[in-house]
């Protein structure tokens, strides 16, 4: 008997693959993977997700926008929207691992926001026997989830966290495209924001207000073919004030521009590793300013579209940024000779 329906998105697709019983969809074992997923989801939804924001607050991070059950559901929905018809090309086991990784990607916040993406294995270890994932599954889920943010390592400023992930690996006998799954999760997480993430009934600390105001200004995203639709509504009162962000102050409008720029960068970045599974190329943006006397009315607005198109800027394009060693993405190297003069000098020194 089916548990999920079409409104459940990826969970429904996963269940359909399980019920089809095709040999290459799930590991050949006695495990019931749909029940296994339900057990993980129910446990995390009851014991962990509701306490993530509280744990971050206790650790000194103030009041984050929602990182609980609703956020996890939103990331799953966005992943489904990103994939579209391409979901038919994913194995059931890949969907299982992606969904579990989505559940784990933000759990590190429960002990503080700093390096939260690197704490996933620690969270898994805390669960011990309660978590029905074997060691290979824990390892691959952690690698997929960890790449959603942060830096490659603590001593680096390199944000290319997708680079170290194996493009394809085997887990319990099934070929899994780890890099693809990580890129989908990362971009889905980037898109998982709107006014539903800020419904706090308590006073929001100054250091968190800009993030809450951003969320409150954004309507749920729309997907139209290769275009994501963003609609913002800035309260009139927010036009005239700056809010704290780190050691600076910023207008909400400028934060919106910053976040849109970041989203476009994330789109371009994740597409590089997604093997054609991310077909989105364009962002359609509308920004409305509410009337001071009637917030339902609009006193000003702007609309524009941004797209991954056009010729790359020759001033910033550097060939060495794209070098890989023997097509292995985690072994980037420098050019042996920076220019013709360097080559000439090296040859002359040998003579």
Q: pLDDT at position 325, please? A: 59
Element (H, E) at 240: none
Residues 163 and 152 sit within 8 Å (Cβ to Cβ): yes
Residue 172 pLDDT > 80: yes
> Across all residues in the chain, what is the average pLDDT?
92
Interatomic CA distance for residues 246 and 244, integer angstroms:
6
Interatomic CA distance for residues 329 and 318, integer angstroms:
17
Number of H helices and number of E strands within the chain? Answer: 12, 8
In tens, the pLDDT along 192-235 reads 999 999 977 789 999 999 999 999 999 999 999 999 999 999 99
Confidence of residue 328 (pLDDT cuts 50, 70, 90): very low
Q: pLDDT at position 262, please? A: 95
Domain limits, the chain = 1-192, 193-310, 319-350
Which candidate, 100, 86, 99, 87, places its Cα nearest to that of 17? 87
The encoded tokens of residue 304 equal: 């524009």
In tens, the pLDDT along 54-111 reads 999 999 999 999 999 999 999 999 999 999 999 999 999 999 999 999 999 999 999 9
What's the start-to-end Cα distance of the chain, in Å? 78
Q: What's the maximum distance between 2 C-alpha atoms anywhere in the chain?
A: 81
The encoded tokens of residue 345 equal: 């000098």
Backbone phi, psi, residue 187, to 5°: -75, -35
Interatomic CA distance for residues 264 and 306, integer angstroms:
8
**Sign for the pseudo-dihedral over CA of 85, 91, 92, 97:** negative
Q: Where are the alpha helices (DSSP H) in the chain?
A: 10-20, 33-47, 52-56, 69-83, 92-104, 120-127, 135-146, 178-191, 206-217, 236-239, 252-273, 340-350
């Amino acid at each position: 008997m089916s548990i999920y329906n079409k409104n459940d998105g990826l969970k429904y697709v996963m269940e359909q693959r399980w019920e089809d019983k095709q040999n290459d969809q799930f590991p050949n074992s006695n495990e019931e993977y749909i029940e296994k997923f339900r057990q993980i989801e129910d446990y995390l939804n009851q014991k962990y997700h509701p306490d993530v924001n509280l744990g971050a607050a206790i650790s000194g991070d103030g009041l984050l926008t929602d990182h609980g059950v609703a956020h996890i559901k939103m990331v799953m929905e966005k992943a489904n929207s990103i994939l579209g018809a391409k979901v038919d090309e994913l194995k059931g086991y890949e969907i299982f691992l992606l969904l579990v990784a989505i559940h784990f990607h933000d759990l590190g916040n429960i002990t503080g926001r700093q390096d939260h993406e690197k704490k996933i294995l620690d969270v898994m270890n805390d669960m011990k026997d309660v978590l029905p994932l074997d060691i290979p599954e824990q390892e691959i889920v952690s690698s997929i989830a960890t790449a959603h943010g942060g830096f490659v390592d603590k001593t680096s400023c390199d944000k290319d966290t997708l680079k170290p992930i194996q493009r394809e690996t085997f887990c319990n006998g099934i070929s899994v495209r780890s890099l693809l799954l990580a890129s989908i999760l990362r971009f889905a997480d980037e898109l998982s924001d709107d006014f539903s993430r800020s419904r706090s009934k308590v006073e929001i600390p100054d250091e968190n207000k800009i993030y809450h105001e951003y969320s409150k200004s954004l309507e749920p995203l729309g997907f139209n073919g290769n275009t994501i639709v963003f609609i913002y509504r800035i309260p009139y009162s927010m036009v005239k004030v700056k809010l704290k962000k780190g050691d600076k102050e910023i207008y909400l409008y400028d934060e919106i521009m910053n976040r849109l720029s970041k989203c476009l960068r994330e789109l371009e970045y994740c597409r590089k590793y997604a093997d054609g599974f991310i077909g989105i190329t364009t962002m359609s943006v509308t920004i409305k300013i509410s009337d001071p006397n009637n917030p339902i009315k609009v006193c000003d607005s702007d609309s524009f579209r941004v797209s991954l198109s056009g010729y790359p800027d020759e001033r910033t394009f550097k060939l060495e940024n794209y070098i890989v060693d023997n097509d292995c993405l985690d072994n980037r190297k420098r050019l042996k000779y920076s220019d013709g003069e360097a080559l000439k000098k090296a040859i002359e020194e040998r003579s």
